[in-house]
Amino acid sequence: MKISEIKSTLERLGASPRKSLGQNFLHDGNLANWLVQQLHLNPGESVLEIGPGLGALTECLPLDRVSATLIEKDRLFAPFLRERFARPNVEVVEGDALDYNPKQLFCRGEVKLIGNLPYYLSSALLFHFSAEPCPFSRMVLTVQKEVGDRLTALPRSGEYGAITVLLQQRWRVRRLKILPPSVFLPRPDVDSVAVELDRLLPADVAEINADWLTRLVKTGFSERRKKLSNTLGKLVPAQAVAAALEAEGFGPLSRAEEISPTGWANLAKRLSPQQAGIPTRPVAGDAETQERLQVVDGQDRPIGGLPRWKVHADKLLHRAVHIFVLNGRGELFLQRRSRRKDNFPRKWDSSAAGHVDEGESYEQCAGRELYEELGLNSPLKEIAKVPASALTGWEFIRIYFAQADEVPDFNETEIETCGFFGLSQVDDWIQKRPEDFATGFLECYQMVRGELGIGG
């Protein structure tokens, strides 16, 4: 939009730029079009835009080929956007972007994010929309240059901080272009910068509990001029910190700003959550190739045990459990299976699931899997039985219910990412993209959906 168009539209709406919302309107049409092009949109994809304002970026989106959701906090601009971009594939959400739940976008497949972020909220918005589980594959954002410098900073620089380390664990961050104050109305006092964030492939992401890494990094940078042996000593024994630093080639006087993102991931692996008081539990994935499963006949009666690979290769009848964990809000915990899984890699699945070992009961297996995968010891209630079929992978399945408001320590060797989802979100997701899920989960979910409540 040209300056004259912005001014006339604001006058017609009885509005003016609100400093409290960080409103600076982009009026360079060529720049707006260039920013949208950096999303590399393909037909059928979806876009989420934060703070569209009067639609300078929105009008450059190829809305004949993609769908868009616009989050606008200004109560005068939201109705204007609905009228201006009135079409079935454009949704305008009036409200604070920090209150928006990105997990509801998983049902749309490939989703990308764009936005001219208000300076005062840039860091909070970045953490909110990149938090796991995250539906976005790519982000193109304009932020204050100071924030952009922090996102792309190198170790030992003044700009290097917790946000640098945490974002670069899962994203390739690159600075695209400086945006001078002259391209905005009103002019901000400082330069802005356009940055792109590309999601790393799973093979390039460290297999580490994201919550634990976040806790460790934020603690380390909370007093950035102090030695890590002192700051991280608040979480784990100081001698363990010293040993981990030495093993990674860092000196005893090392500070947070001296450690690279990769170095932080390695430290997080060495300084395990168990040292911070989270109970130790077995790592199930380490023994998968040696598992002996309970083989059964057509009536689910045990007839012996065989190695896991043999059972799967010969499609023999065997047993499994699925556990559905719900929190106090009625949301269901789902996990995305690791890329290393031999069956349904990177598919979304039940909260926890696994095979019944030779000589093990269904209930014993459910308790073991819940603890091994999620670190939970919650009481279990059996709610359904599923007969063996090709859809279940020739498994007789028992389904259990458990309740927990948080998962303390999920097993990163088994789970790529995870989180609580509203049941209505899961319903919509399954209806639109059943291919995102393991078939066994779909069978189980369909059978017990009525038992889980209406959900949010």
299 shares its domain with 237: no
323 shares its domain with 438: yes
pLDDT value, residue 276: 55
Residue 282 lies in a domain: no
Domain boundary among 204, 238, 254: 204
Q: How far is the C-alpha of 120 from the C-alpha of 96, rounded, in Å?
A: 14
98 shares its domain with 214: no
123 shares its domain with 244: no
- Pair of tokens at residue 79: 């109705």
pLDDT value, residue 277: 55
Domain boundary among 177, 204, 231: 204
Residue 262 lies in a domain: yes
Q: How far is the C-alpha of 196 from the C-alpha of 326, rounded, in Å?
A: 35
Looking at the chain, the number of H-run helices and the number of E-run strands are 14, 18
Tell me how far the alpha carbon of residue 436 is from its chain's centroid. 15
Domain boundary among 204, 221, 244: 204
Q: What is the CATH number of the domain that holds 271?
A: 1.10.8.100
Q: Backbone phi, then psi, for 307, in 5-degree steps?
A: -60, 150
Are 51 and 97 within 8 A, CB to CB? yes
Give buried/exposed letters for 230-265 (b at 16+ CB in 10 A, else e): ebbbebbeeebbbebbeebebeeebbbbebbbebbb
Give pTM, 2 decimals. 0.88
371 shares its domain with 222: no
| Of residues 363, 364, 347, the one with CA closest to residue 445 | 347
pLDDT value, residue 286: 44
Which residues in the chain come in under a pLDDT of 70? 273-290, 408, 454-456
pLDDT value, residue 73: 96
269 shares its domain with 297: no
Q: How far is the C-alpha of 451 from the C-alpha of 111, rounded, in Å?
A: 31
pLDDT tens by residue, 13-65: 998 888 888 789 999 999 999 999 999 999 999 999 999 999 999 999 999 99
Residue 285 lies in a domain: no
Q: What is the CATH number of the domain that holds 353?
A: 3.90.79.10
Domain count, the chain: 3
Residue 281 lies in a domain: no
238 shares its domain with 314: no
228 shares its domain with 200: no
Residues 6+ apart with CB under 8 A from 196: 38, 138, 139, 140, 173, 174, 176
391 shares its domain with 243: no
**Domain span at 262:** 210-276
323 shares its domain with 264: no
269 shares its domain with 172: no
pLDDT value, residue 285: 45
